[in-house]
Amino acid sequence: MEALILVAIAAAVGAGLNTLRGWLHSEGESYSVRLLAGSLIVAVFAALALAQIQVVEGLSDAGVVLVGLITGFTADFVVTKAKKEST
């Protein structure tokens, strides 16, 4: 599979995992599909940017997926922290 597609899918999964982590640690709040959609947008764009600068060049498929998962999770985590600190 194309590295660009793999990293985008993996980043979306990583962002989803971070929103799930946040929801599991929340205190009785309902899961927000709106927050999930926002995190997916941020994570996929970050992953596509990462793939475009050829960081994933020469990696195996498993390596590309791992980079995508980390990118998606981290991108969503950073944006979430920034939002919480600004309010």
pLDDT tens sequence across 50-81 = 777 767 778 888 988 888 888 888 888 888 88
> Which position has the token pair 């985590």?
77
pLDDT tens sequence across 3-44 = 778 888 888 888 888 888 888 888 877 877 787 788 888 888
Distance CA 65, CA 48 (A): 13
Distance CA 2, CA 15 (A): 20
Number of neighbours of residue 73 by Cβ within 10 angstroms: 22
Q: Which two tokens stand for residue 57?
A: 């060049």
End-to-end CA distance of the chain, in Å?
Answer: 41
- Going from N- to C-terminal start, the domains of the chain cover 3-86
This prediction's pTM: 0.71
